[in-house]
Amino acid sequence: MRIEPLKYERIRSERIDRELTQAQVAQLLHVKQNTYSQYEIGVLNFPLEVVIKLARFYGTSVDYLVGLTDVRQPYPQSR
């Protein structure tokens, strides 16, 4: 049984809140389900472009997804 917190708990929580499977999110990211699973539990580091894609998909900020802020809303887009 896992007792330490997941490194990227918010990425997992956002997926679960939307009732998505790891396979569905992996398909969105064009990676295998196993790769996404390893991202989610912190075994593999997310490439920056993956974190950005997830932030846009979930309508939040990269900082929120990786736990640097508790503010869920995305930042205003730069032009």
pLDDT tens for residues 10-60? 999 999 999 999 999 999 999 999 999 999 888 888 899 999 999 999 999
Give me Rg for the CA atoms of the chain: 12
Query: Is 79 domain-assigned?
Result: no
Query: Is 70 domain-assigned?
Result: no
| Predicted local distance difference test score (pLDDT) of residue 3 | 47
Reading the block at residue 25, the tokens are: 């999110």
> H helices then E strands: how many in the chain?
5, 0
Query: Is 44 domain-assigned?
Result: yes
In order of 12, 70, 73, 75, 78, the CA distances from 41 in angstroms are: 8, 20, 24, 26, 31
CATH code where residue 42 lies: 1.10.260.40
Residue 28 lies in domain? 9-65
| Predicted local distance difference test score (pLDDT) of residue 32 | 97
pTM of the model: 0.83
Query: Is 2 domain-assigned?
Result: no
Query: Is 72 domain-assigned?
Result: no
Encode burial over 18-28: b for 16+ CB neighbours within 10 A, e otherwise.
eebebeebbee
Query: Is 77 domain-assigned?
Result: no
Q: What domain count does the chain have?
A: 1
Query: Is 58 domain-assigned?
Result: yes
- Asked whether the beta carbons of 50 and 78 are under 8 A apart, the reply is no
